[in-house]
Structure 1
Amino acid sequence: WPCATGHCGGSLLCNGLGGTPPATLAEITLGNEQDFYDVSLVDGYNLAISITTIKGDLNMMCPVGLQVRSHDNKRVVACESACFAFNLPSSVTGSFGSLRLVNPQHTLGFSRGLS
């Protein structure tokens, strides 16, 4: 696994442990009464991350072919990924549902595209 920082000892999965510092962490805790989110730099940092709210309903921006509609069909309640909606063989569904089968080069290219 070709990560210079934040790696999991050469593995794609960290098995519940954080990546090797320095690594920027986005932490999300979902609870019964309250949900929390934060960005932690306690172990150093290696990426710029921001968590922000949006105005309005993100589901309204979902392309028609990816929309999941309410039982009465009056509103969009979720937005599927293209891989799931169109059952694409290159997705991480079905036989590709295990992260061990994900090509690390695809993940690396995706993360580079985000920066």
Structure 2
Amino acid sequence: MEVIVSILVQLVAGGAGGNVIGQLAKQLNLGTAGNSVVGAIGGLAGTWLAGMIPGLDGLVGAAAGAAGATGGLDLGALAGQGVTGLVGGGLLTAIAGLIKSATAKA
């Protein structure tokens, strides 16, 4: 159950990050659905990548492990996953928007 909550946090935060980038930088906008889907994928990927960085691995990767040890959710780890999901979603949406803009000009 804790893993499902963790994944949902990453998906929602990534989708939010994608939509924020789409609204702030109109040339990167993929539309609401595009921003949400690409952002959600970026949220998962960003959190996964952040878990591989020494120092961040304990913050973003501890939600499931700490939940089993304490019997509840580790809100600090979920917050870390939310932040990395938000950033990852925004970054992947920006990259996809740049690619879309570059191919549209060609």
Q: TM-score, normalised by structure 2?
A: 0.21
Higher relative contact order (CA 8 A, sep 6+): 2
Q: TM-score, normalised by structure 1?
A: 0.20
Higher helix share: 2
Higher strand share: 1
